[in-house]
Structure 1
Amino acid sequence: MARAAGSVGFHVVGRNLVDANGNNFIIRGTSHAYTWYTSQNASFANIKAAGANTVRVVLSNGKRWNKTTPAEVTTIINLCKTNRLICVLEVHDTTGYGEEGAAATLAEAAAYWREIQSVLTGQEAYVIINIGNEPYGNTNATGWIADTKGAIASLRSAGFKHMIMVDAPYWGQDWGNVMRDNAPDVFASDPDKNTVFSVHMYGVYDTAAEITSYVSSFVTRGLPLVIGEFGFNHSDGNPDEDTIMAQAQSQGIGYMAWSWSGNGGGVEYLDMVTGFDPTKPTSWGTRVISGANGFRETSVEASVYGTPVTTTPVTATPVTPTPVTVTPTKTVTATPVTPTATPVTPTPVTVTPTSTPGAACSPVSATISAPFSYDGAGSFCWKTSSLGSYVNSWNMTSLTINGVSFTNKWASSGSFPAAIDGYWYISYSAPYAWSHFEAK
């Protein structure tokens, strides 16, 4: 692959990300949940002080959360530049489209980028546009191909010269290999040939073989890849973070850990620091910052900032974080797709009852049938004669089935309690609009 056509900032050369000075750049960063924590701007300096060279910033186009305004985006870019960080900006509202009913389309995300284009133009040396976070769930994921091409075309026709980053479908994990198998076609559709592919690695990638196979498929074809999110644990499995980071380093590809701080709903362990306080790193933060192949060992500042400087942590504003998170992924189920690489089967969770089995909730709010899903705050009692092949939930206060807790976990039908007179009674209690339960 040649240098990206007409590039004025970050551009693709072969499979490498190259900065405006013509030097290779390997992303080492984390995500900052700006759209839910708009006052935590000290995080930019603290992320830099931790050794990162990039921050991925969560924005909203207004579909699901408060729209991030052009003035806010300008402030974010300036904070990135002040702290000598490369800014990856992403619209989070697209998360799980096709399966998540409230999600925005990639076309809607592209419209947002066009709406704020005036504050992005001229920032191509510092900003990478991540069109939309995890833009398809497990349903009709092949729609990702045309929708991604369409979103790229929308930006290019508007005159964007930025490097574009596109997330994979299947909640970012691409377990059905739609992005992997169609990456050459999607890349070719970009008239500027300046698109980078982003896979999110959680429970699907729990073995070294799966990680190595996926990364190698891009490396051997000369396609640009970054690991746009990953964790060391998750409700859908236990990702192999050591291999993820080692592969990123050995193959010269970028990674961005999820996330700096502010997670809730049972995945607080994905915070790198507690309460946005850089003096309180978690075990996950310590692993990413100072562990093998971590920030301290492998991060190199982008050459557009000139001579590297040393930064020190900024005292964080004391907060009691409102638990807010969009679960970065979902388990590998729903519509089965036969992978063309190593098949991945989620490991069922063994459920230990936390209350008396055989208890039916009451009064019954509604009778449901699988497949069924619900997002939102509230308390309900649902009755069903069939739960399908699995259940999954996140950001819940409590989720019980016939008195057995399935709170914030995935479990197969083999873990379901016995029916009560032919029925299962689902007690749902959740505090957030993004709380989720499904039986499929």
Structure 2
Amino acid sequence: MKKRICILLAVIIVMTVSLPLVTWGADDIYPGFRVQGRFLYDKNGEKVVLYGVNEMSIWGDIDGDVALPEIRKTGANAVRLVWSITGPARKLDILLYNCRLNNMIPIIELHDATGEWQKLPTLVDYWTRPDVVEVLKKHEEYLIINIGNEVGAQVSESDFKIGYETEIKRMRAAGIHVPLMIDGGDWGKDINILQATGPYLINADPDKNLLFSVHMWWPYMWGYSEEKVIDEIKESVEMDLPLVVGEFGHQWEEHDNGKIPYKTILEQCYKNEVGYLAWSWGPGNQPQTFLDMTTDGTFDTLRGWGLEVCITDPYSIKNIAVRPASMLAEPTTEPPVTNIPKGSIAHNKPVFVSSTESGYGNIPENAVDGNIATRWSSEYSDPQYIYVDLEDEYEIERVYIEWETAYASQYKIQVSNDASTWTDVYTEYNGDGDIDDISIDAKGRYIRIYCLQRATQYGNSIFELGVYPKGGAPEPTPTGVEILVGDVNMDGKINSTDLTRIKRHILKMITLTDLELAAADVDGNGVVNSTDLTMIKRYLLKIIPGFPGGDRRIVPPGPIFY
């Protein structure tokens, strides 16, 4: 009997020792997701298979405030977000936070080295930039980084190993310990190079925390088939390779031989517990507009193959994706700052420009609307300008410009009292975009940003232009109705009833009145969305003491547009 007890205890001890395969201590190097064998696990040890879509964030809805709530309706547990080395760290922070708010795992990727192997180090220069590292570490509990989209065309196995080993170690040395995803060669299509180099790279990674992504742009006309999909996924599974199908569509060209066996991809991924991420939510694909899964970025306009992949196919996202409990819990990450400095006298003032890029809705008024997710963009030529009528003469001490990735490398700040004769008060010859916060000493009614030279092939684009007078902005005489911010049902207190009404409004189950909308817009950015919902939750849980701009607000008379 004693011998049996000893054997039983030994078995228990061995089993206990083996538990870290799916559970690990708080002092582990992994701050969030980690790869074990061919599977991904969250911080609590729950296995996660990634099912979702790609979203071209950097070229459109840069903060994800519009697209991500719509993608969430599919049931996706992950979104691969297109980004660029020109993307400001501040905007990256907002995008990652909004993805987490919508209970989906952000997989952020850089698109700048597509097909260009020599640019791989440039991508890692961005990832290891101090301001970017700060953002990545802020979100490391739920973040996956796809180092680069389809880096390289024809790359040898030796170069692939050496190149990625070097850059992986650079990222780990910078303190980045989230899972790193590596795309295949040959514009992402080459799964063989992933199978050949994957085990080596996993062993070379100090964290042993890698995923590998094949882009199955595998049309029949290039010799691909259903059997090829089945065989390659099977081979990857048998070798225990942590594989994801990071991109695929239903066709490459609009004829029978241009079709891709996407239904086989869906089925085989599900049956083998391999993740898939469809390309792409849309709109925005050019010239292959047929790859847009939606017509305007909303769930209701899902169409054709996009509707199948997201909803109707037996192996659709809706039918197979599971969000881990850790992604359903309230986020503990500090919300990013989404406003420009307070007190701009340019806010919603008349604005005039030399030109506006057509077809994208990037109108001049966007530059002074207080919303850092909207922007003005000019035509693609030099010079260009934007000026604001402050409607009175001011002594000005500060100008704040938040550029989009298309910015002016050379520009002047000018003032005038008649919008005809302009005086230079500041000149920039080496602009680097992002945010320019400039001290000046000037006086005038009109202020103009005169863009001399573009930094990119595109136009000049500004998210927000702020102008600040000496002594601060004059306090306007309050007119209208005073409301308690967050008190949606106007009963004089903020509680779960208000929270429920905002949630029902976001889900389009009810329609709020103008005053209710103003009270629900707790962050004061003119939009009622999941950010407001989260802020009220955090307020009720006493995580935050109040709301941006104070607990009370004057709502002006007249209609309110949200």
Instruction: Give the TM-score band, short-chain normalised.
Output: 0.5 to 0.7
Question: 2:38 matched to 1:15?
Answer: yes
Name the CA distance, whole Å, in 2 between partners of 1:135 and 1:192. Answer: 22
Contact 1:263–1:270 (Cα < 8 Å) also in 2: no
* 2:54 partner SS: strand
Contact 2:219–2:252 (Cα < 8 Å) also in 1: no
Please state how far the C-alpha of 1:38 moved relative to its aligned partner.
3.5
Alignment counterpart, residue 107 of structure 2, candidates 88, 93, 97? 88
Question: What does the per-residue CA deviation read over 1:198-257, in whole Å, with 9 as the maximum and x for residues that have no partner?
Answer: 000012574121112211222111121100111110139321111101111001111100
Question: What does the per-residue CA deviation read over 1:243-284, in whole Å, with 9 as the maximum and x for residues that have no partner?
Answer: 101111001111100001033333111111002232211202
Give TM-score, length-normalised by structure 2.
0.51
Give TM-score, length-normalised by structure 1.
0.65
Equivalent residues in 2 for 1:298-317, closer than 5 Å: 298-306=320-328
Equivalent residues in 2 for 1:147-186, closer than 5 Å: 147-174=163-190, 177-186=192-201
Question: 2:222 matched to 1:207?
Answer: no
Name the CA distance, whole Å, in 2 between partners of 1:239 and 1:222. Answer: 26
Contact 1:262–1:268 (Cα < 8 Å) also in 2: yes
Alignment correspondent of 1:295: 317
Contact 1:136–1:171 (Cα < 8 Å) also in 2: yes
Alignment correspondent of 1:409: none
1:13 counterpart letter in structure 2: Q
Alignment correspondent of 1:234: 252
Equivalent residues in 2 for 1:14-413, closer than 5 Å: 14-38=37-61, 41-61=65-85, 67-98=86-117, 105-115=119-129, 116-138=132-154, 143-174=159-190, 177-203=192-218, 206-235=224-253, 237-290=258-311, 291-306=313-328
> What's the Cα RMSD here?
2.6
Change (3 A) 1:210 1:47: same
* 1:191 partner SS: coil
Contact 1:275–1:321 (Cα < 8 Å) also in 2: no
Name the CA distance, whole Å, in 1 between partners of 2:239 and 2:48. Answer: 19
* 1:233 partner SS: coil
Change (3 A) 1:134 1:23: same
Alignment correspondent of 2:365: none
Aligned residues: 305
* 1:105 partner SS: helix
Contact 2:103–2:328 (Cα < 8 Å) also in 1: no
* 1:126 partner SS: coil
Contact 1:273–1:285 (Cα < 8 Å) also in 2: yes
1:60 counterpart letter in structure 2: S
Change (3 A) 1:2 1:152: farther
* 2:49 partner SS: coil
Change (3 A) 1:127 1:215: same
* 1:223 partner SS: coil
Name the CA distance, whole Å, in 1 between partners of 2:229 and 2:258. Answer: 14
1:269 counterpart letter in structure 2: F
Contact 1:19–1:303 (Cα < 8 Å) also in 2: no
Contact 1:269–1:284 (Cα < 8 Å) also in 2: no
Name the CA distance, whole Å, in 1 between partners of 2:310 and 2:359. Answer: 24
1:193 counterpart letter in structure 2: K
Please state how far the C-alpha of 1:433 moved relative to its aligned partner.
7.6
Please state how far the C-alpha of 1:7 moved relative to its aligned partner.
1.2
2:307 counterpart letter in structure 1: T
Change (3 A) 1:237 1:433: farther
**Higher RCO structure, 1 or 2 (CA under 8 Å, sep 6+):** 1
Q: Compare CA radii of gyration and give the structure with the larger one.
A: 2
Name the CA distance, whole Å, in 1 between partners of 2:66 and 2:325. Answer: 23
Please state how far the C-alpha of 1:129 moved relative to its aligned partner.
0.5
Question: What does the per-residue CA deviation read over 1:137-186, in whole Å, with 9 as the maximum and x for residues that have no partner?
Answer: 136575222211111111111121111111111100006x2222111111
* Structure 1 unaligned blocks of 5 or more: 62-66, 99-103, 309-318, 323-376, 378-431, 435-440
* 2:305 partner SS: helix
Question: What does the per-residue CA deviation read over 1:40-59, in whole Å, with 9 as the maximum and x for residues that have no partner?
Answer: 63101000012211111110
Name the CA distance, whole Å, in 1 between partners of 2:181 and 2:198. Answer: 12
Name the CA distance, whole Å, in 2 between partners of 1:237 and 1:142. Answer: 32
Name the CA distance, whole Å, in 2 between partners of 1:149 and 1:179. Answer: 13
Alignment correspondent of 2:419: none
Name the CA distance, whole Å, in 1 between partners of 2:56 and 2:359. Answer: 15
Name the CA distance, whole Å, in 1 between partners of 2:326 and 2:171. Answer: 24
Change (3 A) 1:257 1:321: farther
Percent identity, aligned pairs only, is: 30
Please state how far the C-alpha of 1:105 moved relative to its aligned partner.
1.6
Contact 1:141–1:169 (Cα < 8 Å) also in 2: no
1:57 counterpart letter in structure 2: L
Name the CA distance, whole Å, in 1 between partners of 2:238 and 2:278. Answer: 24
Name the CA distance, whole Å, in 2 between partners of 1:189 and 1:47. Answer: 36
- Hey, which of these two has a bigger chunk of helix by percent? 2
